[in-house]
Each structure stands twice: as structure tokens, then as C-alpha cells.
Structure 1
């Protein structure tokens, strides 16, 4: 469905509506990692650093696959990229079945990488597609709205994941040693089934979506022909020559790293006696408040940023997030608990705003710029492992200084964006 505003600009309501399903499903799948981390940590008796290899393998795929995905999307188009991405993600979900059946942590890590490779291709194709389905000046608002449905997925995933995957109490190493071989085998089979069935269902959903998108007729739009924030005469030959894109990639790196670091440690953090002392299943449900705040903030932000300059909104939210993380580090009990959960509300507009600001004005380099930005999502692989190393040495609470520093940089990017877009340092 296509409609026009008073200025004659085209909007693609039907296509945007259909695309929201993609944002929902990859948000749901990504956030399930926060539930699998404590589950696999206990089952395989891992340290925090070893457990963070889940996020490392998942988000490393963004770094490895993003740039090739950008070239692939240029060849087969946005729709083709979406279909192939869904199929690859479905294959990744299928790999969870043998991973759990063989009780193999390395195979689990491989499954995470394949799954993330498919989601990477989806992001490279879908994010810039949303920005060009309408007026350039409302790109941030439009992408924020679709990302709100991504947050709906991340909000629901911890709750259902806690019910399906953390539904049974995980035994300690000492308890496992006391079990006879038959009891141990039965316990491991039960733990395997808790992971297998949900991911088989997700695989079926992804393959079905791939078939649906293959049959859909989506509009073909060439970003080279669109009016952009930077005049086409200022074409600099490569996306790497635009400072607002390069520094925006750094902002994506630290944003995803900070957001994932917080989400990955929430279950264990809320289980700390000095914080809330919650059991894993109960703590997993509270993770929904973190991602739910992002969802509510994105729905509100999509309206606010039609009136407020996106860069200013970004700087304000980043300063607020940094302040809340510092309060979490200094506080205890309910104060620390709700401070860290409230960071999700501040996170709400960050990714879509950074992304749309960074690709603004790239013209024919939009595909390359999208690949660069999605490659920067590797921050979700690097920073959680670093925070895990500090958590092993300093404790979970003090290790939150990592995301605090991330938000400080994002505030700088928002504050400096106007100068960066003009090519000034």
C-alpha cells in the first residue's frame, strides 16, 4: 500500500507493516541468549568469561558477515537478502537440536554463529530499507517505530524463555556428582529437551516467513535517486569518507556492546543477595522489564522525534543511561535493581537513531554504510567478554563501568552530530 502526503512524498504503509514482523522475530531470538547464558553456564559449569562466549560467537557473526551481506544485498536486492537471511537463521535454529542432544558446548557456539549470520543479513537488508521507505527527514522516527516491534520481541523472549528453558532447577556441580549414571542421563536429557523444542519451533517459523517473503511483492527503491541530507555533489567516493558514518559505527559498537553486556548479566545480577536474591526463573522474568522499557521508549520516541531533533534526543538518552548505570554501581537492593532495569528505557531510541543518522546522506553508498554499521554490532561480542573478565575479578556490580563508558561516547556522538555530518572533526 502506497500513499502520499501533502508534499507528494511516497510512503509504503503495507511494506512497513510487513517488515515489522522481521524486527519482532530477530529481537525475540537475540534476547533468548540472555536466558540461555545462565542455563548453559550452569549445565556446563562455566565461568562468566566462558559463558560470554555465547555472545562472542553470536555477535562476531555481525563482524564477519556484514560486509559480504552488504555486497550480496546490492546483487539480489532487499527482498532477496531478507529471504536468504531468514533461511540461514532457520538452519541455525535447527543446529540447536543436535547441540543439546550431544551435550556439546562447542556445537552450541557454532549454532549461535550460524543463527546470527542469518540475522545479520536480515539487518543489513531491512534496516536501510526502512529508512528509504519514506521521507528522509522522518527516517529516524520510522526506523524507531519498526524497532519498537523488535523490542516487543525482546520483551516477550525472557518471559517465555524463563518458563520453557529455566523451568527446572539447575543442579550444582556437587549435586551432579552425587547422581548415579541413570539419573544423570535423565537429567541431561531433560535439560536438552528444554532447549531443543523451543528452537525447533523457531526454525519452523523462520522457514515459513522465508516462504512468505519470497512470494510477496515489495517495492524496489534505489537510494541513489533519493533526496538525502547531504547533496549528491558532495559524494566522497566511499562510505568510509563520511565522518558521521565512521563515528556512527563506533557508536553502534559501544551501544550494542553496552546493551548486551547489561542484558547478559541481569539474571545473575538480580540473583545477588545484596541486590534482589532472586531465583534464576524469577530473575529471567524481570529481564522483560529491561527490554520492555526499550519497547515503550521506541513507541514514544517514534512520535517525539517527529518534533525533536534525533541527535539531541540521542544525547539526552545516553546521558540518562550513563547516570543510571553509575547509580546501579553505587547502590544496592531495590535501588540498584530498578536503576539497571530502567536503562532499557534510555536504550530505546539509540540503535535506530544512530543507524539512521549514520546512513543519512550517503546516497549510493547507503548499502556499504549499512554493512559497516552492522559489522560494528560486533561490539556485542567483544564488550560482554571484557565485562565478564572484570566480573570474575571485581564482581558483577563493579563490572558495569563498561556500559557506563559506552553511554558517555554515545552522548558525545549525539552532541557532535551536526558538525560530523558537515565533515568537521
Structure 2
């Protein structure tokens, strides 16, 4: 019975309000953008082979998607502040669905630039979804359980990360090594996303009162005194989130390149390794992390994960064969709790600035546009393994952020 009560508290406030239904509905969106991001890691290798482009040029795939985050984050925040969370969700779903369906004419044109345009539209849609969903999940219950709640929701994001490489590998890489259909997986997900948008247009999401200062301070676990930029946990967290997304995107983007070069397997097999091996560890880590945070402070767990990820990058830089590939899988486990935990820690105590803080944090996801380009350039001019020095530096900073994070007030 005690365990059951703890589950209720996860999505329940002190005054008895239960937000289980909106939590379930918003959590379903986490799967959709996880799928959109992870299939990009298969597109990298597909475009290198199908269009004969370099690894540096293929990294533009991530650059345009994450560039959409940078350009759309503040407009998305304005939409949410003016019209509410549901408007942000609907805008994101419509843009996501339209961008995905553009892959149908894109396959006929086979223009890399047209594909980049389609991915940019998807990126703008994902920005709206994340700007709305991430802070919304943190306030659907008691502030003390915000980190657990967002890690649990992000577990379904991890499920999307598993399905993306799986679908991409099956549709884009045939068993004989030829390129497959690029429009089919995007057409399917585009239709699904637009159907989800139709569903959300028919329901109401409760606004959690972020426009009322007093209630906001309770929900976010602190006062909103001073400028947003005076909150050290936010400003340092903004950099940490930028570097985390940079590291994660760079690692995922060139996992297939690294494995095909160092393990002698096909791109199709590597995509399945990424799906069932790497992303399964990623999802398991998020689900386990949500449970572990019942006993260990979020910032303390982030220290262990940051240190573990740092070690794995050193092994990948100087290792080879199965030991290096095993390091990848352990890195996915360490990465799992980083995004939701950094987001929740950075937003803690921002009070009436919460929605604005969320916009800037989502804007920091542009880090995903930087690392793949840097790693691709290093790979083209030196070696693929050396490119992983970029995420190594990112994980070092994240560990420092966690170590120096101020203790939560009791």
C-alpha cells in the first residue's frame, strides 16, 4: 500500500489534485520526438551512401533539425504563454506531420537540400512539443518529485529512440547493401502524428497556473526572485544542456560509422545494434533512473553518470573492437538520465520565469547542430575515433555542473 501511495504522489499535489490523465497524454508525445531524433542517426549513413556525400556534409541533417530548435524556441514559448500548453502541442504536431509527409515528394526529387528543408520543418515542430511538454510534466505533481516525473516521461522518449533506428534500418538498408525507401517510414509517422494532433484538438489540458506567481513558486519548488539570469543553476544548466545534446547527437550520428569501421559489420546490422543494444540501454536507464531518484538526489546521480560517460569516451578514443563497442552501450546507459535531470535541475526555483526558462533551455538543444559537424570534420581529416574527443569534453563539464550544484533545500 505504501508503494501505491508513492505512485499517486508522483502526479498529485499536496491539495489532492490528481494529474494522472494529462501526464499520460503528454507522456505519449515523448515517444514521437524520440523516434524523430533517432531515425536521423540512420539517415546520416543512408545519405552518405545514396547521395555520395561526405560525413561532414551528412552532419547537416542534425544541424538543420537542431537549428530549428534555436530559431523556434522563443516563438514556441510565446505561443505557449499566450495560448496555453495545448496550443504549443498542436502547433508542434502539425509542423512535425507536414515535415514528415514532405519526404514523399522528396524521394522523387532526391535532392539533399529538399530533405534538409523537410527536416527543418520537423525540427520546428519538435521544438514546440518539447517547449510545452518538458516543463508541463515537471509541474504535474509535487515539486520534490519533478526529476522523477520527467525521467519517467522521458522513458517513453527512450522507446522512440529504440524504434527509430529499427524502422530506419529495415526501410533504408536492404540485406544486399542497397538503399531502400526513405519515404515509407516518414509517411507512416506523418500520418500517425496528424491523427494524434486531431485527438489533442478534441481534448482540454489543464493549465497549471504558471500565470499566477504564488502558485508557480510552489509548483517549481522555489521563489522567482530577481532576474532569470541571476539563477546560477539555470545559467550553468543552460550550458550543460547545450553540451549534453551536443554529445548525445554526435555519438548517435557516428555510431554506425564507428561500428562498421571497427567491427566489420554492415550498416543494416549496425542500425539494429544501435536500436536493440544502445537505445534499449538508454530506455532502461531512464526507467531505472526514475526509481533510483527515490533514494538518491538527482544531482548526485548525475555526478555518477557524467563520470561514467567520460570514462566510456576515453575507452572509445583509445580502444578498439568489442571493448570499444561495449563502451558505447555503457555510455547510452549513463546518458539516459542526463537530459531530463539537467532540465529539471536548471528549471528548479525559477518560479514565474518557468515558461521563459523552458524556452531558453529548449533553445540550447541547438548544441546538437554543432557536435556532428565538428566530429564529421575531424573524421574526414583525421580519424572517426578521434572525433569522440568532442563528447568527452561535454561530459567533463556536465560532471562539473553536477558536482557543484547547490544542495536542494529541505
Is the structural similarity TM-score above 0.5?
yes
Instruction: Report if aligned partners of 2:139, 2:219 keep a CA contact under 8 Å in 1.
Output: no
Which residue does the alignment assign to 2:231? Answer: 242
Which residue does the alignment assign to 1:48? Answer: 55
Determine which structure has more spread, i.e. the larger CA radius of gyration.
1
Instruction: Report if aligned partners of 2:147, 2:341 keep a CA contact under 8 Å in 1.
Output: yes
Moved more, 162-171 or 53-62: 162-171
Question: Equivalent residue of 1:306, what SS?
Answer: coil
Q: CA deviation at 1:404?
A: 0.8
The CA distance in 2 between the partners of 1:200 and 1:231, in whole Å, is: 44
5+ residue gaps, structure 1, are: 172-190
The CA distance in 1 between the partners of 2:332 and 2:153, in whole Å, is: 17
Which residue does the alignment assign to 1:382? Answer: 370
Q: CA deviation at 1:8?
A: 3.7
Which residue does the alignment assign to 1:278? Answer: 265
Residue among 203, 218, 228 paired with 2:205: 218
Number of matched pairs: 396
The CA distance in 1 between the partners of 2:331 and 2:382, in whole Å, is: 22
Cα 1:130–1:57, aligned 2, differ >3 Å: closer, same or farther? same
CA offsets per residue over residues 286-328 of structure 1, 9 Å max, x none? 1112121110011011111122110111111000001011011
Q: CA deviation at 1:395?
A: 0.8
Which residue does the alignment assign to 1:198? Answer: 185
Question: Equivalent residue of 1:10, what SS?
Answer: coil
Q: CA deviation at 1:79?
A: 1.0
The CA distance in 2 between the partners of 1:229 and 1:131, in whole Å, is: 8
Which residue does the alignment assign to 1:121? Answer: 128
Which residue does the alignment assign to 1:313? Answer: 301
Q: Cα RMSD over matched residues?
A: 1.8
The CA distance in 2 between the partners of 1:140 and 1:306, in whole Å, is: 10
Instruction: Report if aligned partners of 1:3, 1:10 keep a CA contact under 8 Å in 2.
Output: no
Q: 1:62 aligned to 2:69?
A: yes
Which residue does the alignment assign to 1:179? Answer: none
CA offsets per residue over residues 209-256 of structure 1, 9 Å max, x none? 001011122222113313156643x5113x223221111111111101
For 1:7-406, list aligned pairs within 5 A: 7-167=14-174, 169-170=176-177, 191=179, 194-223=181-210, 224=213, 225-226=215-216, 227=218, 231-232=222-223, 235-237=225-227, 239-272=228-261, 275-288=262-275, 289-406=277-394
Question: Equivalent residue of 1:215, what SS?
Answer: coil
Which residue does the alignment assign to 2:397? Answer: 409
Cα 1:6–1:45, aligned 2, differ >3 Å: closer, same or farther? closer
Question: Equivalent residue of 1:221, what SS?
Answer: coil
CA offsets per residue over residues 173-219 of structure 1, 9 Å max, x none? xxxxxxxxxxxxxxxxxx5x701121111110010000101112222
TM-score of the two chains, using structure 1 as the length reference: 0.90
Q: CA deviation at 1:16?
A: 1.1
Question: Equivalent residue of 2:134, what SS?
Answer: helix
Q: CA deviation at 1:341?
A: 2.2
Question: Equivalent residue of 1:271, what SS?
Answer: helix
Instruction: Report if aligned partners of 2:220, 2:347 keep a CA contact under 8 Å in 1.
Output: no
Instruction: Report if aligned partners of 2:139, 2:220 keep a CA contact under 8 Å in 1.
Output: no
Q: CA deviation at 1:9?
A: 4.8
The CA distance in 1 between the partners of 2:108 and 2:398, in whole Å, is: 42
Question: Equivalent residue of 1:220, what SS?
Answer: coil
The CA distance in 2 between the partners of 1:270 and 1:401, in whole Å, is: 17
The CA distance in 2 between the partners of 1:73 and 1:395, in whole Å, is: 44
The CA distance in 1 between the partners of 2:197 and 2:250, in whole Å, is: 30
Instruction: Report if aligned partners of 1:24, 1:153 keep a CA contact under 8 Å in 2.
Output: yes
The CA distance in 2 between the partners of 1:206 and 1:409, in whole Å, is: 36
CA offsets per residue over residues 129-166 of structure 1, 9 Å max, x none? 00010111110000000000000110121122111111
